[in-house]
Structure 1
């Protein structure tokens, strides 16, 4: 049995363009699962469905990760080039997406070197890591809260599409806790 509790929302005249989908996504869903002898209740946190005003893309550039890349490929510079060039092409980005800024951040290790290079997408407004459903992220990536094996331009192109989808509201992720509790090794300044 699935019960949905829809948050009461006041829509001003300037916000009339909010679709029914957004209202449903802002709902709190309670799913009741019945077991053989007991009933378990799983409560999913309501997600903030507004487009973040800024995203942080954290890329591992440690030697264990970059050593898997061939031909001088660097996922950080490739992502920067692709996403920055997208900002200058008005045909690619929907107008409201330009309001979302992207900050690129380098880390030396995400403690997942066997699956590197790794990339995290972070809501810079509140510091939460963003993960996605199984159509975008596999189970291991979702559990470890990062994209893995970003070893070529095809993977970078896919990631830039996801980031642009977040920016224009066509891709919705789930915020899975604060990034600062993870064991990423950040450069010291």
Structure 2
């Protein structure tokens, strides 16, 4: 069972003026008060706004297709054992066409047995980046050949923003949005 949420959503009546402004902008875009990683991030309203802006950019303007982007986000959630991030993005990945078998392999922490060439490229590049904090010359060349230099920048940025969100969520102990879908690894 998960530990209690350390940084739950702030009631709107308790917002500071800066929090109220940041929350109003968030609400205008998302139709809801800050939730998920944005609930704890609201403790630093400007950081929340900046992080949310980069997150939007990476989710809605990336050179990667939705399926590849969501698969990569799920890999980050698995790497950080982040239940909220997983619970949201596994559903997005399925909607984008990522196979259940591929997602189950990621959840188990293993390389999927069956992937398209594009899935294998992104899966392996993300796994390498998470494990080694860099890419080999071979991986870099493969990414540039398929996604250009834009991909060589955007893929690490995507991994970075979701790693940042996972760390915030883990520190805050934000609960999953539904059932926890990842087995907890020893911490």
Structure richer in helix, relative to its length: 2
Q: Highest relative contact order (Cα 8 Å, sep 6+), 1 or 2?
A: 2
Superposition TM-score, scaled by structure 1 size: 0.30
Structure richer in strand, relative to its length: 1
- Give the number of the structure whose alpha-carbon radius of gyration is greater: 1
